[in-house]
C-alpha cells in the first residue's frame, strides 16, 4: 500500500476584490497522486501549476486565503485532513519532512549549523543536548559534508549553496522521516552540484526506504532520479506513470507538449502543439483545464474531466489519449 495517497485534492484562494465581489482562484482542481516506500515520485509542471501548493497542503501548511475545499490526504493509513493541529505538528518534521529551494534563506544565519540540525532532533525526540549533537554530526557525515566535526561549528554563510543544501537535507533526515518532500531542491545550483544533490537524495531514499515526493519544473531532473512521475497542469495531475513510459509513450497532449518543448529531449509530438499563456485560475473552463491549448480538443472535453485511471500503472486524464482507445 502507498505510504502517501492524495485523492481529488482541491484548494482555492478566496478573496474579495475592490467591489467586494468574492473572487475564487481555483489553484488545485482534483490532484491525485500516491507515493510508495523506497520510491521517488516526481511532480513536474510549469511554474504556477500548483506543485508547491500540493506540498503545502500535504504538510498542513496552507494559510489564508488558501483553503482546502475538498479531497483526502492519507499518510500511513491516517487521514491527515481530519487530525488536530497538535497531531499534525508532531507528524511534520518527524514522519514527514520537507526540503525547499534556496537553502540560504531557510537556515538561521545566527545559529551554528550543527546546532540547527541538533535542535530539530531535540525538539521532536526529546533527546539530550549530547545525543542531539552526536546525531547532528552523524547526519553531517551522512550527507557528505567534509570535515563534519569542524563544520558543525561553522555559520551558514560559510557554506556554499550546495553544502547549505546538504545541511537542509541533513535537517530533513535527522528524525528518520518516512516521507520526504523536496520542492525544487537543486534549482539554482550549478549543474555539477545539482547532480550531486540529486544523487544524495536518491541514495538517501534507497538506504532508508523513504518515500519521496520530488517537485521540479525540470524534466531532466525527473529523468535522472525519479521512478514515477506525475505531470501537473492547472492544479491537476493530468498524467502519471513510470518515468520511462511517460517519457517515451506520453498519453496526454500536455505531456507531449512538455516533452516536445524540452530542448534536450526528442520531439515526440505529432505536429506542433500550440503553446499558450498560463491558464487563468479565476476563469478555468468547465471540464478539461487544457482545452484552450489542446490541439485535440473536442466539445466533449468541456464536459466532465476524465478521472485518472488510478488502477493502471500509467494513465492520463484525457478523453483522447494517445495512443487512442
Ligand atoms: N494569494 C493567492 N491568490 C490567488 N492565487 C494564488 C495565490 N497564491 C498563489 N496563487 C496561485 O496558485 C497557483 C499555484 O502556485 P504554486 O503551487 O506555487 O505553483 P508551482 O509550485 O507549480 O510553481 C499559482 O498559479 C499561483 O498564481
Ligand atoms: S480532454 Fe480533450 S482538451 Fe483535454 S487534453 Fe484531452 S483532448 Fe485535449
Ligand atoms: Mg513551486
pLDDT in tens, 263-274: 544 332 323 333
**Looking at ligand 2, which atom is closest to the CA of residue 291?**
3
Query: Do 216 and 172 share a domain, yes or no?
Result: no
**Beta pairing class for 4-16 and 22-35:** antiparallel
Q: Is residue 325 part of a domain?
A: no
Query: Do 236 and 122 share a domain, yes or no?
Result: no
**pLDDT value at residue 266:** 38
Q: Which of 236, 256, 301, 302 to mutate to test the pocket of ligand 2 (most atoms within 8 A of CB)?
A: 301
Q: Is residue 150 part of a domain?
A: yes
Domain boundary among 176, 204, 225: 176
Any residues with Cβ below 6 Å from ligand 1, and which? 13, 25, 27, 45, 47-53, 65, 281
Query: Do 146 and 188 share a domain, yes or no?
Result: no
For 14, the grid coordinates are: 478566496
**Looking at ligand 1, which atom is closest to the CA of residue 235?**
14
Residue 322 Cβ inside 6 Å of ligand 2? The answer reads no
**Looking at ligand 2, which atom is closest to the CA of residue 306?**
1
Q: Is residue 322 part of a domain?
A: no
pLDDT tens profile 170-212: 999 999 999 999 999 999 899 999 999 999 999 999 999 999 9
Query: Do 142 and 163 share a domain, yes or no?
Result: yes
Q: Whose CA is nearest to atom 26 of ligand 1?
A: 48
Quote the Cα angle for 116-122-125, to 5°. 135
**Looking at ligand 1, which atom is closest to the CA of residue 183?**
21
pLDDT tens profile 96-150: 999 988 777 889 999 999 999 999 999 888 889 999 999 999 999 999 999 999 9
Give the distance (Å) from ligand 3 centre to CA of residue 274.
24
197 CA to centre of own chain:
16
Q: Which of 294, 303, 307 to mutate to test the pocket of ligand 2 (most atoms within 8 A of CB)?
A: 294
Find all residues with CB under 8 Å of 133, minimum gap 6, and list them: 114, 118, 152
Q: Is residue 323 part of a domain?
A: no
Give the closest ligand to the alpha carbon of residue 64.
Answer: 1
**Looking at ligand 2, which atom is closest to the CA of residue 288?**
4
d(CA 76, CA 177): 12
Q: Is residue 324 part of a domain?
A: no
pLDDT tens profile 33-55: 999 999 999 999 999 999 999 99
Query: Do 112 and 91 share a domain, yes or no?
Result: no
CATH code for position 269: 3.40.50.300
Query: Do 8 and 86 share a domain, yes or no?
Result: yes
Average pLDDT, the chain: 92
Q: Is residue 31 part of a domain?
A: yes
Query: Do 183 and 303 share a domain, yes or no?
Result: yes
- Tell me: cis bond preceding 49? Omega within 30 of 0 counts: no
Query: Do 190 and 55 share a domain, yes or no?
Result: yes
Domain boundary among 148, 176, 204: 176
Q: Is residue 296 part of a domain?
A: yes
Query: Do 90 and 189 share a domain, yes or no?
Result: yes
In the chain, the number of structural domains is 2
Burial class (CB in 10 A: 0-12, 13-18, 19+), 304: exposed
Beta bridge partners of 221: none
Give the closest ligand to the alpha carbon of residue 183.
Answer: 3
Q: Whose CA is nearest to atom 16 of ligand 1?
A: 50
How many other CB atoms sit within 10 Å of the CB of residue 140? Answer: 24
Q: Which of 234, 256, 319 to mutate to test the pocket of ligand 2 (most atoms within 8 A of CB)?
A: 319
What does pTM read for this prediction? 0.94
Query: Do 113 and 168 share a domain, yes or no?
Result: yes
Beta bridge partners of 29: 10
How many other CB atoms sit within 10 Å of the CB of residue 83? Answer: 14
Query: Do 106 and 91 share a domain, yes or no?
Result: no
Query: Do 182 and 238 share a domain, yes or no?
Result: yes
Instruction: With cut-offs at 50, 70 and 90, classify the pLDDT of residue 323.
Output: confident
Q: Is residue 67 part of a domain?
A: yes
Please state the rounded mean pLDDT for residues 79-84.
96
Q: Whose CA is nearest to atom 10 of ligand 1?
A: 27
Q: Which domain holds residue 111?
A: 96-176
Place of cell 482555492: 12
Domain boundary among 155, 176, 197: 176
Amino acid at each position: 500500500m502507498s505510504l502517501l495517497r492524495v485523492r481529488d485534492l482541491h484548494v482555492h484562494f478566496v478573496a474579495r476584490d475592490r467591489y467586494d465581489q468574492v473572487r475564487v482562484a481555483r489553484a488545485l482542481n482534483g490532484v491525485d497522486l500516491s507515493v510508495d516506500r523506497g520510491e521517488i515520485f516526481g511532480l513536474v509542471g510549469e511554474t504556477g501549476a500548483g506543485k508547491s501548493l500540493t506540498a503545502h497542503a500535504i504538510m498542513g501548511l496552507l494559510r489564508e486565503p488558501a483553503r482546502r475545499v475538498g479531497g483526502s490526504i492519507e499518510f500511513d493509513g491516517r487521514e491527515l485532513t481530519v487530525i488536530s493541529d497538535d497531531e499534525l505538528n508532531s507528524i511534520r518534521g518527524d514522519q514527514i519532512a520537507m526540503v525547499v529551494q534556496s537553502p540560504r534563506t531557510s537556515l538561521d544565519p545566527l545559529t551554528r549549523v550543527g546546532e540547527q540540525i541538533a535542535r530539530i532532533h531535540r525538539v521532536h525526540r526529546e533527546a539530550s543536548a549530547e545525543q542531539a549533537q552526536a546525531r547532528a554530526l552523524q547526519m553531517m557525515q551522512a550527507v557528505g559534508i567534509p570535515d563534519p566535526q569542524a563544520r558543525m561549528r561553522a555559520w551558514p554563510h560559510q557554506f556554499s549553496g550546495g553544502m547549505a543544501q546538504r545541511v537542509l537535507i541533513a535537517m530533513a533526515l535527522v528524525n528518520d522521516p518516512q516521507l520526504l518532500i523536496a520542492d525544487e531542491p537543486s534549482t539554482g545550483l550549478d549543474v555539477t552540484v545539482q547532480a550531486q544533490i540529486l544523487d544524495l537524495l536518491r541514495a538517501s531514499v534507497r538506504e532508508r526506504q523513504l518515500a519521496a515526493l520530488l517537485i521540479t519544473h525540470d524534466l531532466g531532473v525527473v529523468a535522472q532520479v525519479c521512478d514515477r512521475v506525475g505531470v501537473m497542469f492547472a492544479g491537476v495531475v493530468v498524467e502519471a506513470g513510470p518515468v520511462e513510459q511517460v517519457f517515451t509513450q506520453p498519453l496526454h497532449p500536455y505531456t507531449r507538449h512538455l516533452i516536445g518543448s524540452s530542448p534536450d529531449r526528442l520531439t515526440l509530438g505529432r505536429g506542433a502543439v500550440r503553446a499558450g499563456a498560463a491558464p487563468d485560475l479565476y476563469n478555468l473552463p468547465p471540464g478539461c483545464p487544457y482545452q484552450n491549448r489542446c490541439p485535440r480538443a473536442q466539445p466533449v472535453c468541456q464536459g466532465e474531466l476524465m478521472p485518472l485511471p488510478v488502477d493502471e500503472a500509467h494513465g492520463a486524464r484525457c478523453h483522447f489519449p494517445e495512443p487512442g482507445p
